[in-house]
Structure 1
Amino acid sequence: MPPLIQSLNTHVDTPAPAPSTRTAMNGPWTSYLPPWLIALTLRHPLASKFAAAATLAVAAYVLLCRKRTAARPLALPDGTRVYSPPFVFQNARYLTVNGKVLRVLHRHGPQEKPAVVFLHGMGGNLAQWAPLMEKVAEYAEVVGVECVGHGMSKDTGRPDDYRTLSMVDDIASALTSTLPPTRDLVLVCHSYGCCMGTYLAASHLGPRIRGMVYLGGRALMPPTAIIATRKLAALPSPILTLLRLYDRWGGINSASVTRYLGPGSPRDLRALQAIWNKHLENTQLKALAGGLQWVGEDEYNKVACPVLVIMGDKDGAVPVGASVEDYRRVLAGKAGTAEPVVVLPGIGHQVMLEATEEVWTRMTRFLVEACGVKLV
């Protein structure tokens, strides 16, 4: 056979060596890839990129949406514990209430004066009350309750525990365990806590409540807002995580911080707010949204005590104009509430932190003039 024909026959008849999968996917991660992924990559050129993207997405979900096993303290970069200011650390304790472990602050005071009870909002904690609590504690008994999963109170993992009326019942039980049953009360509430305080005043605790101060609250919630809240509860956790990350983009100047604080708020307070906004897990937010039951005019009609509302005109968490009008309507005719709403200029949602002195001054004057309660 001529050499040329022999060379051609050799070229045609000799099978080419099988392509090496390791050669087809050379790279630093090749040795870690499973055989099925390598085989899939050989069939479609985009498969490896899709698989890598899917793997990164799963890893991000595991890291960002990991389930919280227990309540944990948060700290600033310098190590400052944001959930335990000195006043809170010295006077708070854990109390088992309705099968839940809640952190309850109790600072004893004069028995002849009403006990002042502080109720935080959604995602709030006792630390947000510390500056105002310290002022009140000089003259009266102080009580504060962290609702389930908030602050240092334990997360039960049960969505029903995060329903509005369930948390209201927890607060009532904590007060019953902490104070004598005949003790008069003054409620100081913030945001969602105003809703829960109204339920307490409309229930069997109503006769004991001498007055209420609402900070940054919302009187009524229209059906459109309720629907939006239900949609939040129905969101898949990965999507909710991405939305929360986008909301926090920008750190202390992000939309999530600006929503709660006015433009003149100090840098350290903005840093604290950025940390507080991250404390609740997705499962807790969804449970709170799904179990939300806002008060209506029927509950306000049952409130017998005077009410003072203090809001900031830079509040981005609640519609200030609509809330002012709603409060004026539902509180009309209440004893001592001729002008129940005060709007502070340049102040955001965290009224008690941004305007502590102003709140203290207006609160003490209101309690004397409208409620007959002299703290100072």
Structure 2
Amino acid sequence: MTGPWTPFLPPWLVALTLRHPLASKLAAATALAVTAYLFLCRKRASARPLALADGTRVYSPAFVFEHARYMAVNGKVLRVLHRHGPADKPAVVFLHGMGGNLAQWAPLMEKVSECAEVVGVECVGHGMSTDTGRPDDYRTLAMVADIASALEVTLPATRDLVLVCHSYGCCMGTYLAAHFGARVRGAIFLGGRALMPPTAITATRKLAALPSPILTLLRLYDRWGGLNSASVNRYLGPNSPRSLRALQAVWNTHLENAQLKSLAGGLQWVGEDEYKKVECPVLVIMGDRDGAVPVNASVEDYRRVLAGKGMAEPVVVLPGIGHQVMLEATDEVWSRMTQFLPEACGVKLV
């Protein structure tokens, strides 16, 4: 029993097809599966897309391109943004989330830069920072140590800090607030998750253990639908503009499987003990259409762990906004920041 595919099969497989009526179909399915595996799991020529199809710069908006430089930090090459500002005000430090980059902060950074010093760090393998290929470099505490080292090199030891963090960056920002102590005058957490229950930790560990081909297929399925795929809708609200959806679709393909598995395997989320070490007031801003974190559970957890830190109500939930709070509601976030910092932290930016 033969078919149109037999010229493309090895002789021993063709011989097998003559012995069983279903063997030819099985052989074709096997050949198709092998071809799909080689196609989907081949090494990409470029690990991170730098531009959209129309040539729009993705990772280097004008503000980032002008002020970001490469820095050797703890044996890694990281991209660090530093825009000088008045010495009598705290430096505002921006920390991205998992799979994030400096470009996601550009609109808010530009507003802050008009009145204060700005610093941003792209963690190992993120944005334009180098991927070392070493899983241990992607552990939570290793990346926190990298950010702390970059800040210590970039800023004077006496400079006060304000932390502005997004998603996974809120976890790292909590560790940093405990590390720098009284130097951190205030922190703003955007789209963060206060605590991770054991079930979520277990699910993350399972992700780290998935074979790369299976993870590739899951990621392809997640991106099915393009700008309206589950992977984009998870991060953006329903009213987000098409241009932002196009950027999010690119960002979602940024990390390689090996990097995702290293991040998942090295995840060490903060617990309630870490929040007790945070001395500064914290403001949390979330969107009610956030599909990346459980909003209601996060709100309750934040209210509990941040009780007694200078805010009667530490959580603000914005209607119609998704996970990328700083991009979907830049003006609202800026307004909340400039109100929170003077009232709760005694820091006046404007």
Q: Does the CA-based 8 Å contact 1:68-1:281 persist in structure 2?
A: no
Map Cα deviations across residues 193-215 of structure 1 (whole Å, 9 max, x no partner).
00000011112x12211110000
CA distances 1:65-124 after superposition (whole Å, capped 9, x unpaired)? 334676534321201121111111111111111111111111111111111100000111
Instruction: Tell me what 1:364 maps to.
Output: 338
Conserved 8 A contact 1:260-1:317: yes
Percentage of pairs with the same residue: 83
* Structure 2: runs of 5+ lacking an equivalent: none
Q: How does 1:199-238 map onto structure 2 within 5 Å?
A: 199-203=175-179, 205-238=180-213
For structure 1, which runs of at least 5 residues remain unmatched after alignment? 1-23
Q: Distance in 2 between matches of 1:330 and 1:54?
A: 54
How far apart in 1 are the matches of 2:270 and 2:187? 15
| Pairing 1:1-376 to 2, within 5 Å after superposition | 25=2, 27=4, 30=7, 32-67=8-43, 71-203=47-179, 205-334=180-309, 336-376=310-350
Give 1:249 deviation, angstroms: 1.0
> C-alpha separation between the residues in 2 aligned to 1:280 and 1:72?
7
CA distance in 2, matches of 1:29, 1:375: 72
| C-alpha displacement of 1:366 | 0.7
* 1:133 counterpart SS class: helix
Q: 2:196, 2:106 → 1: CA distance?
A: 29
Classify 1:111/1:61 alpha carbon distance in 2 versus 1 (closer, same or farther; 3 Å): farther
When normalised by structure 1's length, the TM-score is 0.89
Give the Å deviation of 1:60: 2.6
Q: Shift in Å at residue 339 of structure 1?
A: 1.1
In 1, Cα distance between equivalents of 2:3 and 2:306: 73
User: What is the deviation of 1:58?
Assistant: 2.8
Distance of 1:289 and 1:212 partners within structure 2: 25
The aligned length equals 350
Residue identity opposite 1:232 in structure 2: L
Distance 2:207 2:176 in 1: 27
Report how far residue 333 of structure 1 moved: 0.5
> Partner amino acid for 2:136?
D
Deviations 1:195-248 (A, max 9, x none): 000011112x12211110000000011111111111111111111111111111
Instruction: Give how far 1:29 is off.
Output: 6.2
Return the alpha-carbon distance in structure 1 between the equivalents of residues 256 and 238 of structure 2: 27
Instruction: Measure the CA separation in 2 of the matches of 1:243 and 1:28.
Output: 28
The aligned amino acid for 1:219 is A
Deviations 1:136-164 (A, max 9, x none): 11111111111111111111111111111
Answer with 1 or 2: which has the greater Rg: 1
Give the TM-score of the pair, scaled to structure 2: 0.96
Cα distance, 1:101–1:44 mapped onto 2, change above 3 Å: farther
What is the match of residue 21 of structure 1?
A: none
